[in-house]
Amino acid sequence: MDKTPFFHALTIDQETCIGCSHCMKACPTEALRVRNGKAILQPDRCIDCGNCFKVCPTKSIYIKQDDFDDIFNYACRVALVPSVFMGQFPNDITVSRIYQILKEIGFTYIIETEATVPIYTEAKNRYAAEHPDIRPLISTYCPAIVRLIQVKFPGLTDNLIPIKAPIDLTAMYIRRKLEKEDWNPEDIGIFYITPCAAKIAAVKTPVGEDKSLVDGVINMDSLYNRVFKRIKEQGHGFKEQKLPVSQLSADGVLTALTNGERRLSNAKHSYSIDEIHNVIEFLEKVENDEVENVDFLELRACDQSCPGGILTCDNRFMMCERIFARARKIAERERNGEQTKDHEIEAERNFLARNVKVGEIKPRSMLVLDEDITQALAKMQRINQLRAKLPQRDCGVCGAPTCDALARDIVMGEAELSDCIFLKNKD
C-alpha cells in the first residue's frame, strides 16, 4: 500500500471555523471530524473533491495556492490554462483577448492544457487495445477520482489507465519546446491555472510519479479576477489586436466536459458519470461485478465535470454552453480546412508517446482497521457492539458524521463513548 502522505490544498482556518459540521456532513469519504468545536481534516481520507469548501458558511475552508508573483522568479513564464478558463467569460470576450491580457499581466507564453488531447486519446486507446484483460478501464483524467479509487475502492486501482493526464503531457511538451528554443531549463516556470483543489493536490504530490512537471499553481478564481479587472479597465470601446491563439482542436476543447473523453474512446460499451456521489454509487456496482461488459469509464468528481470545479467563476451550465459554442466554431473551421492539427505538437508525438505512462498507482485504503487481520476482526467485533449501543440518529453532535463513524473512531482511539450526547444524557 502507498504510504506517502497526501498533500491537501484544502485547509481549514481554525480561527474562523465555528464547528457547525456542515462540511463533515458533506464529505463523501467521511474525512472530517469536529473536535473541540473546530473542523479537522483526516489527511488519509480526504480526496480533495472540495465538497466541504462549497458548503462552509463562514468561508473557513480555503485553498492554498502559490503566490502570483512567484511567476516573476522565472524569465520564461508559462500559463498552462485549461479551456474551462475561457468558458467563464461572456461571449464578446474573445479567446485571443484573454491570451493578450494574460500576457499583459505577466505571462510570456500561453498554452491551453488540452493541446495534447489527440496524443492523450491515442495513448489511452492504445493502452486499452494492449490490455484486453483489464475491464472496465477507468480514466485518470480527474485526480479526485484517482484518489477516491485509491482510498475507497482499492480493488479497482488496477483498472485505472496509467497514462499522464493532458495537464502533465502538455507541461512536458511545452518544457521540451522551450528548451529546444534555447531557454535555460531553470528559467522556465510552468504555472497551471486550476479549476479545483484536486488538481493542486495532484501537482504537489503526483500519483505514480516522482516529481510534478508543473512549477506552480494559481487558483482560477484569483486569475479570473485579475483578467476581469483588466477587461473593465480597457472599457467598452477597446480595440483588440488579434493574437494568434493555439490550434486547440474541437475535441480538445470538449475534453473537460462530461462525455468529453467517452466520445473519443474506442470502447464499445462505456459510461460517463459526473458528480462524486454518482460516481461512488456506480463504483460500488463495478466492484461487485454487477456491471457487465463495460469497457471504459469516464468518471469526474464534479457535476458537469470541470466547469463544476470549486474555483470556477460562473454558472457551470452557462460555462458548458460557451465551451460547446467554441467547440462548434472550431469544428467548422476544421471541416473547412481553415484549422489543421497543431504541427508543432504533432512533431513531438513520438517523444510524448514514449513518456506518456505513469508509474504504478497503488491502493491506499482508508477502510482498513488494522494491518493484522486478527486485530482487525477484534476491532470490528468491538465496533459492532458499540454500534448496537449508539442511537443510530447520525446527528453529528459528537463530531463524527454518523454513529457508525463514531463507533469506529472510538475503537481507533480517536473518540470516546461519552461524546455521544444521547448516551451522556441517559447517565
Partner 1 sequence: MHLEYQVFEADFVNAGAASSSIKKTLKQLNVNPQIVKRVVVALYEAEVNAIAHAYGGMIYADIEADKIIVKVVDKGPGIPDIEWAMQEGNSTASPEVRNMGFGAGMGLPNIRKNVDRLDVQSTVGVGTTVEMEVHF
- Considering only 4, 241, 288, 293, the residue that binds partner 1 (CB under 8 A) is 288
Strand partners, 300: 274
Contact partners, residue 303, CB within 8 Å, separation at least 6: 274, 275, 316
Residue 98 near residue 246 (C-beta atoms within 8 A): no
Rounded to the nearest whole angstrom, what is the least distance from the CB of residue 210 to partner 1 in the complex? 25
Stretch that binds partner 1, among 42-50, 335-343, 348-356, 378-386 (CB under 8 A): 378-386
Q: Which of 78, 77, 141, 80 is nearest to 113 (CA)?
A: 80
136 part of the interface to partner 1, by CB under 8 A = no
Q: What are phi and psi of 136, to 5 degrees?
A: -75, 150
- Considering only 40, 231, 380, 417, the residue that binds partner 1 (CB under 8 A) is 380
369 part of the interface to partner 1, by CB under 8 A = yes
Rounded to the nearest whole angstrom, what is the least distance from the CB of residue 251 to partner 1 in the complex? 34
Q: Give me the torsion for CA of 55, 67, 175, 8, rounded to 10°.
A: -40
Stretch that binds partner 1, among 34-42, 69-77, 132-140, 371-379 (CB under 8 A): 371-379
289 part of the interface to partner 1, by CB under 8 A = yes
Per CB under 8 A, contacts with partner 1 among 190-229 are none
- Considering only 125, 331, 363, 394, the residue that binds partner 1 (CB under 8 A) is 363
154 part of the interface to partner 1, by CB under 8 A = yes
155 part of the interface to partner 1, by CB under 8 A = yes
> Residue 242 to residues 99, 245, 325, 415: CA-CA distances in angstroms?
10, 9, 20, 62
Question: Toward partner 1, which CB reaches closer, 248 or 297?
Answer: 297
Alpha helices in 302-348 (DSSP H): 316-335, 343-347
Residue corresponding to grid cell 513564464:
77
Strand partners, 80: 111, 192
280 part of the interface to partner 1, by CB under 8 A = no
> Residue 101 to residues 231, 233, 248: CA-CA distances in angstroms?
8, 11, 19
Rounded to the nearest whole angstrom, what is the least distance from the CB of residue 290 to partner 1 in the complex? 6
325 part of the interface to partner 1, by CB under 8 A = no
Rounded to the nearest whole angstrom, what is the least distance from the CB of residue 1 to partner 1 in the complex? 9
Count of C-beta atoms within a 10 Å radius of residue 72: 11
- Considering only 75, 368, 395, 421, the residue that binds partner 1 (CB under 8 A) is 368
Site of interaction with partner 1 (CB under 8 A): 154-157, 284-285, 287-290, 363, 365, 367-374, 376-377, 380-381, 384
